[in-house]
Chain A
Amino acid sequence: MTDEYGLEVVEKEKVQYIVVSIGNEQYGLDISYVDNIVRMCKITRVPKAPFHYIGIINLRGEVVPLMSLRRKMKLDDDEFTDLSRIIILKTEEMGLIGVVVDEVKEVIALSEDEIDENAKTQSPEKDNFISGIGKNEGELISILEISSIFDEVDNA
Chain B
Amino acid sequence: MDVSQYLDIFIDETNGHIQELSDNIMLLEKEPENKDCVNEIFRAAHSLKGMAGTMGFKKMQHLTHDMENVFSEVRNDNIKVNSTLIDILFQCLDAIEAYLETVKATSGEGDEANEHLIKMLNDFLEGGDGSADAAPAESAASEETAEAEASGEGFEYENLKLDEDELEKIKKTESSGAKMYGFTVHIQKDCMLKAARAFLVYKAVEDFGDILIYNPSSEDIEDEKFDLTFNMIVVTESELQPMLDAISAVSEIEKVDAGEVTSATYTKPAEEKKEEETAPAPAEKSAEEKKETPAPAKAPAAKGGKNAPANKPVTARTVRVDIEKLDALMNQVSELIIAKNSLVSISDQDTSSDENQQTFHEQIEYLERITTTLHESVMKVRMVPIENTVAKFPRMIRDLSRKLNKPMELYMTGEDTELDRTVVDQIGDPLQHLLRNSADHGIEDPETRRAAGKPETGSITLNAFQEGNNVIIEVKDDGAGLDIEKIRAKAVERGLVTEEQAENLSKKEVIDFLFNPGFSMAKKVTDISGRGVGLDVVKSNIESLGGDVEVKSVFGQGTTFVVRLPLTLAIIQALMVEVRDEKYAIALGSIQNIENIPVSEIKYVQAEEVIHLRGMVIPLIRLDELLDSTPKEEEPESLTVVVVRKGDSYAGVVVDNLIGQQEIVIKSLGKCIDNNKIINGATILGDGEVALIIDVNAIF
Chain A residues at the B interface, C-beta cutoff of 8 Å? 41-42, 44-50, 53, 56-58, 61-65, 67, 93-97, 150, 152
Q: Scoring B residues 663 to 700 as 1 if CB is less than 8 Å from chain A, else 0, what string do you get?
A: 00001111111011111001010001111100000000
Identify B626's interface contact among A41, A47, A57, A95, CB under 8 A.
Answer: A47
B344: Cβ under 8 A from any A Cβ: no
Identify B582's interface contact among A45, A62, A64, A95, CB under 8 A.
Answer: A45
B628: Cβ under 8 A from any A Cβ: yes
A47 touches B676 (CB 8 A): yes
B319: Cβ under 8 A from any A Cβ: no
B295: Cβ under 8 A from any A Cβ: no
**Given A44-B682, A44-B691, A58-B684, are A94 and B672 neighbors across the interface (CB < 8 Å)?**
yes
Q: How far is the CB of B459 from chain A (nearest CB, A)?
A: 49
Chain B residues at the A interface, C-beta cutoff of 8 Å? 582, 626-629, 667-673, 675-679, 682, 684, 688-692
A65 touches B670 (CB 8 A): yes
A97 touches B628 (CB 8 A): no
The interface residues of chain B lying within 8 Å CB-to-CB of A53 are 672-673
26 A–B contact pairs at CB < 8 A? A42-B688, A44-B682, A44-B689, A44-B690, A46-B676, A46-B679, A47-B628, A47-B676, A47-B692, A48-B627, A48-B628, A48-B675, A48-B679, A49-B673, A49-B676, A50-B673, A53-B673, A56-B669, A61-B684, A63-B669, A63-B670, A65-B669, A93-B671, A95-B670, A97-B670, A152-B672
The interface residues of chain B lying within 8 Å CB-to-CB of A64 are 670
Identify B671's interface contact among A45, A57, A94, CB under 8 A.
Answer: A94
B670 touches A96 (CB 8 A): yes
Interface centre among A56, A65, A94 (most CB of B within 10 A): A56
B675 touches A50 (CB 8 A): yes
The interface residues of chain A lying within 8 Å CB-to-CB of B684 are 58, 61, 63
The interface residues of chain A lying within 8 Å CB-to-CB of B678 are 47-48
A47 touches B682 (CB 8 A): no
Residue of A nearest to B676 (CB): A48
Q: How far is the CB of B579 from chain A (nearest CB, A)?
A: 10
Residue of A nearest to B694 (CB): A47
Q: How far is the CB of A131 from chain B (nearest CB, A)?
A: 21
Q: In whole angstroms, what is the CA distance A93 to B679 when docked? A: 21
Identify B682's interface contact among A42, A50, A63, A96, CB under 8 A.
Answer: A63
A95 touches B671 (CB 8 A): yes
The interface residues of chain B lying within 8 Å CB-to-CB of A65 are 669-670, 672-673
The interface residues of chain B lying within 8 Å CB-to-CB of A44 are 582, 682, 689-692
**Given A46-B679, A47-B676, A47-B678, are A58 and B689 neighbors across the interface (CB < 8 Å)?**
yes
- The 7 A-B pairs with the shortest beta carbon distances in the complex, nearest first, are A47-B627, A44-B690, A63-B667, A49-B673, A63-B682, A65-B670, A58-B690
Q: How far is the CB of B686 from chain A (nearest CB, A)?
A: 11
**Given A63-B667, A63-B668, are A56 and B673 neighbors across the interface (CB < 8 Å)?**
yes
